[in-house]
């Protein structure tokens, strides 16, 4: 990761480095992320609570689903490497927004920021609602509608308070949450090797689909397991030595998540009989019970899942404010989003908490006919729009022959990586399904009037300012 494939920084790039290296206000509470924290941010955001259901979700396709895991991991690593290249060239907060705007102009940048912002606050609501299900294993909260609702709101509020306290506390929470959730996951992943029984694996191809069809079908379920790979790039302005550390953290975090995904799924496959796993609603619980006996596995897995989701909420809350912050500094989001205290864009955090909380309340009051599930599905599309724009920006930088951005000797390698990452992003879009893409496009178009208003204000301000 020392060789980022970029030329030495130009004068403007050195200026950006100076800006990103400037100390934050309220230095006692603001602390820039080192490589370990940045890596935890990536790993924590990639791995939420979905891992605890993944083995059962792909079990109907057989162990061929592990092939899909390998293919997806290769695509995710390519995307991680591209983000590392882009962040090394432009280490400002905002990630995909920054790259898309520089390559294609304000409108493309706005679409990346708008799409990513929608993804973050809707995902926070979804994570909190899902976390309540695990909390109920430890204490009864779902017996009453409003008790469950208040629990979900509380789970969102705690990470928000950590964010408002400053980046120092965001990093601490992220580190602790990552360690606590990985210990039980690694226990199953590596401990399962000692209890592994090949007879439990079942058939290589359990469905009636052909090999390619089975890989594609299982990949469609697994595709979104790697959302969050951009986390370090989005927060590049908060990372120490971002030209060096963002790329490293992105690749290390993605590899760490991939290792846990693959080994954890393999361990569950080998410890839980295939017939039982297909119908399991708590595969990791079944694996722990099979390995150590008793029935305490449910509690252990519930604690791990709860910690995992709180850690993901902590990281996504920070990211929900970073992209609007970068766009607001360029006049493409309301200026209030550019307010920063203790290293954190506080207005962005507060707005995200309010919107996610309103959506959470709606989820518990609208009943089964609500649109909550539809909105969550839409985020699987909106999350990939910034990926497509960022990888397209890298292709643009490569094809335009701008020497200060890419070394000629690395052109072929970087072009192959960018093309692979773009293909992976397109695969993500395809995996979202027709309904999600259709509705996601409507969400994007809903942002067009916002862009028109902000662009008009920006132009008026430019005319009023002295030349």
pLDDT (0 to 100) of residue 17: 43
- Percent of the chain exceeding pLDDT 70 equals 87
**Three-state secondary structure call for residue 344:** strand
pLDDT tens digits, one per residue of 165-199: 776 667 777 777 777 777 777 777 888 888 888 88
pLDDT (0 to 100) of residue 262: 86
Q: Which residue has the tokens 């162990």?
A: 63
Q: Are 69 and 326 in contact (CB under 8 A)?
A: no
- Whether 394 shows a pLDDT value over 50: the answer reads yes
Tokens of 37: 């924290």
Confidence of residue 22 (pLDDT cuts 50, 70, 90): very low
User: Who has greater pLDDT, 385 or 205?
Assistant: 385
Vertex 379: Cα angle to 359 and 350 (nearest 5) = 45
State the average pLDDT for the chain: 79
- Whether 426 shows a pLDDT value over 80: the answer reads yes
The Cα-based distances of 80 to 109, 176, 228, 374 in angstroms read 20, 24, 10, 28
Supply the Cα-derived Rg of the chain in whole angstroms.
Answer: 22
C-alpha–C-alpha distance, residues 292 and 294, integer Å: 7
- Percent of the chain exceeding pLDDT 90 equals 8
**Three-state secondary structure call for residue 33:** strand
Average pLDDT over residues 213-236: 78
pLDDT (0 to 100) of residue 390: 92
Which stretch of DSSP H or E encloses residue 329? helix 297-329
- CA 316 to chain centroid, in Å, comes to 7
The secondary structure of 167-221 as a DSSP string is HHHHHHHHHHHHHHHHHHHHHHHHHGGGS--GGGS--SS-SSS-HHHHHHHHHHH
Average pLDDT over residues 98-103: 91
N-terminal to C-terminal alpha carbon distance within the chain: 43
Average pLDDT over residues 79-101: 88
pLDDT (0 to 100) of residue 30: 54
Task: List, in sequence order, every residue forming a beta bridge with 341; answer none if it has no partner.
Answer: 344
C-alpha–C-alpha distance, residues 267 and 262, integer Å: 9
- CA 110 to chain centroid, in Å, comes to 19
pLDDT (0 to 100) of residue 27: 54
pLDDT tens digits, one per residue of 114-155: 999 998 888 888 888 878 877 877 787 777 878 888 988 988
Region of 387 (left: φ > 0; alpha: ψ -120 to 50; beta: rest) is alpha
pTM flag (> 0.75): yes
C-alpha–C-alpha distance, residues 113 and 327, integer Å: 7
CA-closest candidate to residue 67, choices 283, 280, 276, 269:
269
Q: Are 344 and 167 in contact (CB under 8 A)?
A: yes
Cα-based torsion angle of the residue sequence 441, 436, 367, 114 in order, rounded to the nearest 10 degrees? -40
CA-closest candidate to residue 315, choices 150, 142, 149, 181:
181
pLDDT (0 to 100) of residue 392: 92
Tokens of 68: 């899909």
């Amino acid at each position: 990761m020392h060789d980022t494939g970029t030329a030495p920084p130009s004068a403007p790039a050195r200026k950006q480095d100076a800006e990103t290296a400037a100390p934050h206000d309220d230095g006692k509470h603001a602390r820039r992320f080192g490589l370990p924290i940045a890596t935890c941010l990536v790993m924590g955001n990639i791995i939420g609570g979905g891992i605890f259901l993944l083995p059962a979700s792909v079990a109907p396709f057989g162990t061929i689903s592990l092939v899909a895991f390998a293919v997806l991991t290769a695509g995710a690593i390519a995307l991680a490497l591209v983000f590392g290249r882009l962040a090394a060239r432009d280490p400002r907060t905002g990630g995909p927004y920054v790259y898309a705007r520089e390559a294609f102009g304000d409108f493309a940048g706005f679409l990346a920021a708008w799409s990513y912002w929608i993804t973050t606050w809707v995902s926070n609501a979804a994570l909190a609602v899902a976390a309540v299900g695990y909390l109920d294993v430890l204490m009864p909260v779902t017996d009453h509608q409003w008790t469950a609702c208040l629990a979900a709101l509380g789970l969102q509020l705690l990470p928000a308070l950590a964010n408002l306290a400053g980046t120092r506390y965001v990093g601490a929470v992220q580190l602790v949450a990552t360690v606590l959730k990985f210990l039980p996951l690694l226990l199953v992943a590596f401990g399962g090797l000692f209890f592994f029984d090949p007879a439990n694996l079942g058939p290589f191809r359990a469905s009636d689909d052909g090999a390619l069809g089975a890989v594609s079908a299982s990949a469609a379920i697994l595709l979104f397991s790697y959302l969050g790979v951009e986390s370090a790039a989005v927060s590049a302005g908060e990372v120490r030595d971002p030209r060096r550390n963002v790329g490293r953290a992105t690749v290390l975090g993605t590899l760490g998540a991939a290792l846990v995904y693959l080994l954890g799924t393999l361990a569950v496959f080998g410890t839980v009989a295939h017939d039982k796993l297909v119908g399991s609603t708590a595969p990791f619980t079944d694996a722990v019970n099979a390995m150590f006996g008793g029935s305490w596995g449910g509690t252990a897995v519930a604690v791990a899942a709860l910690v995992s989701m709180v850690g993901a909420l902590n990281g996504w809350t920070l990211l929900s404010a970073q992209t609007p912050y970068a766009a607001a500094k360029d006049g493409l989001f309301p200026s209030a989003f550019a307010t920063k205290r203790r290293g954190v864009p506080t207005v962005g955090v507060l707005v995200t908490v309010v919107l996610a909380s309103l959506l959470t309340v709606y989820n518990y009051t609208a009943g089964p006919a609500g649109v909550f599930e539809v909105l969550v599905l839409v985020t699987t599309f909106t999350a990939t729009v910034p990926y497509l724009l960022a990888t397209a920006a890298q292709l643009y930088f490569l094809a335009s022959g701008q020497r200060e951005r890419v070394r000629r000797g690395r052109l072929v390698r970087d072009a192959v990586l960018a093309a692979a990452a773009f293909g992976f992003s397109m695969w993500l879009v395809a995996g979202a399904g027709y309904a999600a893409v259709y509705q996601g496009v409507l969400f994007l178009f809903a942002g067009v009037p916002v862009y028109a208003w902000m662009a008009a204000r920006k132009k008026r301000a430019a005319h009023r300012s002295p030349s």
